[in-house]
Structure 1
Amino acid sequence: MQPTPRSVFTHPAQFLAFGLGSGLSPKAPGTVGTLAAIPFYLALSLLDTQAYIATVFAAAIIGIFLCGEAARELKVHDHPGIVWDEFVGFWITMIAVPVTGLNILLGFALFRLFDIWKPWPISWCDKHVHGGLGIMLDDVLAGVLALACLHLCVAWIG
Protein backbone atom coordinates (compact mmCIF):
# COMPACT_ATOMS: atom_id res chain seq x y z
CA MET A 1 0.00 0.00 0.00
CA GLN A 2 1.39 3.38 -0.99
CA PRO A 3 0.81 6.11 1.57
CA THR A 4 -1.16 9.13 0.46
CA PRO A 5 -1.34 12.53 2.08
CA ARG A 6 -4.88 11.63 3.12
CA SER A 7 -3.83 8.37 4.81
CA VAL A 8 -0.84 10.00 6.51
CA PHE A 9 -2.80 12.99 7.79
CA THR A 10 -5.78 10.94 9.00
CA HIS A 11 -3.97 8.11 10.83
CA PRO A 12 -2.17 9.33 13.98
CA ALA A 13 0.55 6.65 13.89
CA GLN A 14 1.32 7.35 10.23
CA PHE A 15 1.23 11.12 10.81
CA LEU A 16 3.89 10.88 13.50
CA ALA A 17 5.86 8.09 11.81
CA PHE A 18 5.93 10.19 8.63
CA GLY A 19 7.42 13.09 10.60
CA LEU A 20 4.26 15.23 10.55
CA GLY A 21 4.11 14.69 6.79
CA SER A 22 7.75 15.43 5.97
CA GLY A 23 8.26 11.80 4.96
CA LEU A 24 5.85 12.30 2.06
CA SER A 25 8.63 14.11 0.17
CA PRO A 26 9.04 12.37 -3.20
CA LYS A 27 12.82 12.92 -3.10
CA ALA A 28 15.11 12.07 -0.19
CA PRO A 29 12.41 11.67 2.50
CA GLY A 30 15.05 10.74 5.12
CA THR A 31 16.95 13.95 4.50
CA VAL A 32 13.74 16.01 4.49
CA GLY A 33 12.67 14.26 7.69
CA THR A 34 15.98 15.12 9.32
CA LEU A 35 15.57 18.74 8.27
CA ALA A 36 12.06 18.73 9.75
CA ALA A 37 13.55 17.51 13.05
CA ILE A 38 15.69 20.66 13.44
CA PRO A 39 12.96 23.03 14.72
CA PHE A 40 11.94 20.40 17.27
CA TYR A 41 15.59 20.04 18.27
CA LEU A 42 15.75 23.80 18.85
CA ALA A 43 12.76 23.54 21.18
CA LEU A 44 14.22 20.47 22.94
CA SER A 45 17.55 22.27 23.39
CA LEU A 46 15.85 24.59 25.87
CA LEU A 47 15.57 21.65 28.29
CA ASP A 48 18.37 20.75 30.67
CA THR A 49 20.50 17.81 29.55
CA GLN A 50 18.73 15.20 31.71
CA ALA A 51 15.28 16.28 30.52
CA TYR A 52 16.52 16.37 26.92
CA ILE A 53 17.87 12.81 27.16
CA ALA A 54 14.72 11.56 28.89
CA THR A 55 12.54 13.13 26.19
CA VAL A 56 14.63 11.67 23.37
CA PHE A 57 14.61 8.25 25.08
CA ALA A 58 10.81 8.43 25.35
CA ALA A 59 10.58 9.47 21.68
CA ALA A 60 12.70 6.44 20.74
CA ILE A 61 10.55 4.02 22.74
CA ILE A 62 7.34 5.53 21.34
CA GLY A 63 8.95 5.38 17.88
CA ILE A 64 9.29 1.60 18.09
CA PHE A 65 5.52 1.36 18.35
CA LEU A 66 4.72 4.21 15.93
CA CYS A 67 7.02 2.96 13.19
CA GLY A 68 5.96 -0.64 13.69
CA GLU A 69 2.29 0.30 13.45
CA ALA A 70 2.82 2.48 10.38
CA ALA A 71 4.78 -0.35 8.69
CA ARG A 72 1.97 -2.81 9.49
CA GLU A 73 -0.68 -0.42 8.11
CA LEU A 74 1.36 0.09 4.93
CA LYS A 75 2.35 -3.59 4.71
CA VAL A 76 5.93 -2.47 3.98
CA HIS A 77 8.86 -2.86 6.38
CA ASP A 78 10.71 0.43 6.83
CA HIS A 79 8.95 2.42 4.13
CA PRO A 80 11.26 5.32 3.10
CA GLY A 81 8.60 7.82 4.21
CA ILE A 82 8.75 6.61 7.81
CA VAL A 83 11.07 9.25 9.22
CA TRP A 84 10.33 9.34 12.96
CA ASP A 85 13.55 7.33 13.27
CA GLU A 86 15.43 10.17 11.55
CA PHE A 87 13.92 12.66 14.00
CA VAL A 88 15.14 10.61 16.96
CA GLY A 89 18.52 9.82 15.39
CA PHE A 90 19.20 13.52 14.79
CA TRP A 91 18.10 14.41 18.32
CA ILE A 92 20.52 11.79 19.67
CA THR A 93 23.29 13.31 17.53
CA MET A 94 22.72 16.67 19.18
CA ILE A 95 22.79 15.55 22.85
CA ALA A 96 24.76 18.04 25.00
CA VAL A 97 26.11 19.94 22.00
CA PRO A 98 26.17 23.76 22.14
CA VAL A 99 23.39 25.13 19.96
CA THR A 100 25.11 26.90 17.06
CA GLY A 101 24.45 26.96 13.36
CA LEU A 102 27.75 25.20 12.68
CA ASN A 103 26.99 22.43 15.18
CA ILE A 104 23.53 21.89 13.70
CA LEU A 105 25.04 21.71 10.21
CA LEU A 106 27.77 19.30 11.34
CA GLY A 107 25.29 17.20 13.30
CA PHE A 108 22.96 17.03 10.31
CA ALA A 109 25.79 16.03 7.94
CA LEU A 110 27.26 13.44 10.32
CA PHE A 111 23.90 11.87 11.08
CA ARG A 112 22.96 11.65 7.39
CA LEU A 113 26.41 10.21 6.60
CA PHE A 114 26.07 7.39 9.14
CA ASP A 115 22.39 6.81 8.32
CA ILE A 116 23.11 6.41 4.60
CA TRP A 117 26.53 4.68 4.84
CA LYS A 118 25.44 2.27 7.60
CA PRO A 119 28.85 1.04 8.83
CA TRP A 120 28.92 -1.98 11.15
CA PRO A 121 27.03 -2.48 13.52
CA ILE A 122 24.37 -0.32 11.87
CA SER A 123 24.34 -2.46 8.71
CA TRP A 124 23.97 -5.66 10.74
CA CYS A 125 21.00 -4.26 12.68
CA ASP A 126 19.44 -2.94 9.49
CA LYS A 127 19.51 -6.44 7.97
CA HIS A 128 18.71 -8.58 11.01
CA VAL A 129 16.39 -6.63 13.33
CA HIS A 130 12.84 -6.26 12.09
CA GLY A 131 9.61 -4.52 13.03
CA GLY A 132 9.43 -1.20 14.80
CA LEU A 133 12.62 -1.93 16.74
CA GLY A 134 14.50 -2.58 13.50
CA ILE A 135 13.20 0.62 11.94
CA MET A 136 14.37 2.64 14.94
CA LEU A 137 17.58 0.85 15.89
CA ASP A 138 19.73 1.62 12.84
CA ASP A 139 18.97 5.35 13.17
CA VAL A 140 19.55 5.30 16.93
CA LEU A 141 22.98 3.75 16.29
CA ALA A 142 23.70 6.23 13.49
CA GLY A 143 22.79 8.98 15.96
CA VAL A 144 25.17 7.57 18.59
CA LEU A 145 28.08 7.38 16.12
CA ALA A 146 27.31 10.88 14.83
CA LEU A 147 27.09 12.12 18.45
CA ALA A 148 30.56 10.77 19.22
CA CYS A 149 32.02 12.34 16.07
CA LEU A 150 30.24 15.64 16.67
CA HIS A 151 31.57 15.86 20.22
CA LEU A 152 35.09 15.21 18.90
CA CYS A 153 34.60 17.97 16.31
CA VAL A 154 33.27 20.40 18.94
CA ALA A 155 36.23 19.63 21.22
CA TRP A 156 38.69 20.04 18.35
CA ILE A 157 37.13 23.25 17.00
CA GLY A 158 37.02 24.60 20.51
Structure 2
Amino acid sequence: MLSHPAHILAQGFGSGLSPAVPGTMGTLFGWLSFNVLSQRWPEIFTTAGWAWIIVIGFLIGIWACKVTGKNLGVADHGSMVWDEIIAIWAVLLFVLPADARTQTWAFLIFRFFDMVKPPPIRYFDRHLKGGFGVMWDDIVAAFFTLLVFALWRAW
Protein backbone atom coordinates (compact mmCIF):
# COMPACT_ATOMS: atom_id res chain seq x y z
CA MET A 1 0.00 0.00 0.00
CA LEU A 2 2.80 2.42 0.81
CA SER A 3 4.67 1.86 -2.45
CA HIS A 4 2.67 4.55 -4.29
CA PRO A 5 0.39 7.40 -3.15
CA ALA A 6 -2.37 6.07 -5.44
CA HIS A 7 -2.39 2.80 -3.49
CA ILE A 8 -2.97 4.57 -0.17
CA LEU A 9 -6.07 6.23 -1.55
CA ALA A 10 -7.35 3.32 -3.66
CA GLN A 11 -6.97 0.93 -0.73
CA GLY A 12 -8.88 3.24 1.57
CA PHE A 13 -5.98 4.15 3.87
CA GLY A 14 -5.62 0.45 4.67
CA SER A 15 -9.29 -0.41 5.17
CA GLY A 16 -9.27 -2.40 1.92
CA LEU A 17 -6.47 -4.62 3.17
CA SER A 18 -8.81 -6.50 5.49
CA PRO A 19 -8.49 -10.25 4.84
CA ALA A 20 -12.28 -10.59 5.10
CA VAL A 21 -14.90 -8.48 3.31
CA PRO A 22 -12.64 -5.59 2.26
CA GLY A 23 -15.48 -3.80 0.45
CA THR A 24 -17.54 -3.82 3.62
CA MET A 25 -14.55 -2.60 5.63
CA GLY A 26 -14.00 0.22 3.14
CA THR A 27 -17.67 1.18 3.36
CA LEU A 28 -17.48 1.14 7.17
CA PHE A 29 -14.39 3.36 6.98
CA GLY A 30 -16.29 5.73 4.69
CA TRP A 31 -19.29 5.81 7.03
CA LEU A 32 -17.11 6.44 10.09
CA SER A 33 -14.94 9.07 8.39
CA PHE A 34 -17.98 10.95 7.07
CA ASN A 35 -19.46 11.22 10.56
CA VAL A 36 -16.18 12.01 12.34
CA LEU A 37 -15.10 14.67 9.83
CA SER A 38 -18.57 16.24 9.77
CA GLN A 39 -18.70 16.46 13.55
CA ARG A 40 -15.07 17.51 14.08
CA TRP A 41 -14.92 20.22 11.40
CA PRO A 42 -18.52 21.21 10.56
CA GLU A 43 -17.38 24.51 9.05
CA ILE A 44 -15.40 22.63 6.38
CA PHE A 45 -17.51 19.50 5.96
CA THR A 46 -20.74 21.23 5.05
CA THR A 47 -23.18 19.95 2.43
CA ALA A 48 -21.43 22.00 -0.26
CA GLY A 49 -18.01 20.99 1.06
CA TRP A 50 -18.90 17.31 0.94
CA ALA A 51 -20.32 17.68 -2.57
CA TRP A 52 -16.99 19.10 -3.78
CA ILE A 53 -15.00 16.46 -1.89
CA ILE A 54 -17.09 13.68 -3.46
CA VAL A 55 -16.72 15.05 -7.01
CA ILE A 56 -12.98 15.64 -6.63
CA GLY A 57 -12.58 12.30 -4.81
CA PHE A 58 -14.36 10.54 -7.66
CA LEU A 59 -12.06 12.11 -10.25
CA ILE A 60 -8.89 11.42 -8.27
CA GLY A 61 -10.23 7.92 -7.58
CA ILE A 62 -10.33 7.18 -11.30
CA TRP A 63 -6.59 7.83 -11.43
CA ALA A 64 -5.78 6.07 -8.13
CA CYS A 65 -7.76 2.93 -9.03
CA LYS A 66 -6.29 2.80 -12.53
CA VAL A 67 -2.72 3.02 -11.20
CA THR A 68 -3.35 0.59 -8.34
CA GLY A 69 -5.14 -1.93 -10.55
CA LYS A 70 -2.32 -1.79 -13.07
CA ASN A 71 0.35 -2.21 -10.40
CA LEU A 72 -1.51 -5.08 -8.72
CA GLY A 73 -2.22 -6.76 -12.07
CA VAL A 74 -5.99 -6.86 -11.47
CA ALA A 75 -8.11 -4.03 -12.86
CA ASP A 76 -10.61 -4.12 -9.97
CA HIS A 77 -8.59 -5.69 -7.16
CA GLY A 78 -10.62 -6.49 -4.04
CA SER A 79 -8.39 -4.31 -1.87
CA MET A 80 -9.39 -1.19 -3.80
CA VAL A 81 -12.19 0.38 -1.77
CA TRP A 82 -11.99 4.08 -2.61
CA ASP A 83 -15.03 3.53 -4.82
CA GLU A 84 -17.03 2.30 -1.81
CA ILE A 85 -15.84 5.23 0.29
CA ILE A 86 -16.87 7.85 -2.28
CA ALA A 87 -20.19 6.10 -2.90
CA ILE A 88 -21.16 5.83 0.79
CA TRP A 89 -20.19 9.50 1.25
CA ALA A 90 -22.60 10.35 -1.57
CA VAL A 91 -25.34 8.28 0.03
CA LEU A 92 -24.80 9.88 3.43
CA LEU A 93 -24.71 13.36 1.93
CA PHE A 94 -28.30 12.91 0.75
CA VAL A 95 -29.60 10.76 3.63
CA LEU A 96 -28.32 12.86 6.54
CA PRO A 97 -29.34 14.24 8.90
CA ALA A 98 -30.43 10.82 10.05
CA ASP A 99 -30.32 8.74 13.20
CA ALA A 100 -28.06 5.70 13.61
CA ARG A 101 -30.84 3.31 12.54
CA THR A 102 -31.39 5.14 9.24
CA GLN A 103 -27.64 5.33 8.62
CA THR A 104 -27.40 1.59 9.26
CA TRP A 105 -30.13 0.99 6.69
CA ALA A 106 -28.25 3.21 4.21
CA PHE A 107 -25.11 1.16 4.80
CA LEU A 108 -26.92 -2.18 4.41
CA ILE A 109 -28.87 -1.17 1.31
CA PHE A 110 -25.72 0.20 -0.34
CA ARG A 111 -23.79 -2.98 0.49
CA PHE A 112 -26.63 -5.05 -0.97
CA PHE A 113 -26.49 -3.19 -4.30
CA ASP A 114 -22.68 -3.20 -4.34
CA MET A 115 -22.37 -6.93 -3.62
CA VAL A 116 -25.33 -8.33 -5.58
CA LYS A 117 -24.85 -5.93 -8.51
CA PRO A 118 -28.33 -6.21 -10.02
CA PRO A 119 -28.78 -4.80 -13.53
CA PRO A 120 -27.67 -2.24 -14.62
CA ILE A 121 -24.90 -2.20 -11.98
CA ARG A 122 -23.68 -5.60 -13.20
CA TYR A 123 -23.51 -4.29 -16.77
CA PHE A 124 -21.27 -1.38 -15.76
CA ASP A 125 -19.13 -3.64 -13.57
CA ARG A 126 -18.51 -6.03 -16.47
CA HIS A 127 -18.20 -3.60 -19.37
CA LEU A 128 -16.50 -0.48 -18.02
CA LYS A 129 -12.84 -1.09 -17.31
CA GLY A 130 -10.02 0.88 -15.78
CA GLY A 131 -10.31 3.42 -13.01
CA PHE A 132 -13.58 4.85 -14.30
CA GLY A 133 -15.21 1.42 -14.36
CA VAL A 134 -14.05 0.68 -10.81
CA MET A 135 -15.55 3.95 -9.57
CA TRP A 136 -18.72 4.08 -11.69
CA ASP A 137 -20.51 0.88 -10.65
CA ASP A 138 -20.39 2.00 -7.02
CA ILE A 139 -21.85 5.38 -7.94
CA VAL A 140 -24.71 3.54 -9.64
CA ALA A 141 -25.13 1.40 -6.50
CA ALA A 142 -25.28 4.63 -4.48
CA PHE A 143 -27.92 5.98 -6.86
CA PHE A 144 -30.06 2.87 -6.37
CA THR A 145 -29.63 3.16 -2.61
CA LEU A 146 -30.87 6.74 -2.76
CA LEU A 147 -33.74 5.67 -4.99
CA VAL A 148 -34.81 3.13 -2.36
CA PHE A 149 -34.66 5.86 0.29
CA ALA A 150 -36.69 8.25 -1.86
CA LEU A 151 -39.35 5.59 -2.39
CA TRP A 152 -39.27 4.64 1.29
CA ARG A 153 -39.73 8.26 2.38
CA ALA A 154 -42.47 8.89 -0.18
CA TRP A 155 -44.37 5.83 0.96
Structure-2-length-normalised TM-score? 0.88
Which of 13, 22, 31 is residue 24 of structure 2 equivalent to? 31
Deviation for aligned residue 1:31: 0.5
Q: Percent identity?
A: 38
Q: Which residue of 1 aligns with 2:137?
A: 138
After alignment, is 110-119 or 89-98 more displaced? 89-98
Query: Which runs of no fewer than 5 residues in structure 2 stay unpaired?
Result: none
Deviation track 1:45-81 (CA, whole Å, cap 9, x = no partner) reads 7433232222111111111111111001111110000
1:115 aligns with 114
Give a deviation string over 1:14-45, Cα, whole Å, max 9, x none: 11100000111111100011111112211247
Residue from 70, 73, 82 that aligns with 2:71: 73
CA contact (8 A) 1:64 1:132 kept: yes
Q: Could you say what secondary structure the match of 2:7 adopts?
A: helix
Alpha-carbon distance in structure 1 between the residues aligned to 2:112 and 2:4: 31
Q: How many residues align?
A: 149
106-115 vs 87-96, which deviates more? Answer: 87-96
Task: State how 1:2-41 maps to structure 2 within 5 Å.
Answer: 8-41=1-34
> For 1:129 and 1:82, how far apart are their aligned partners in 2?
16
- Which residue type is aligned with residue 63 of structure 1? G
Q: CA deviation at 1:155?
A: 5.2
2:94 alignment counterpart: 96
Q: How much is the aligned-residue C-alpha RMSD, in angstroms?
A: 1.6
Gaps of 5+ in 1: 1-7
> Could you tell me how far apart the structure 2 residues matched to 1:12 and 1:115 are?
25
TM-score under structure 1 length normalisation: 0.87
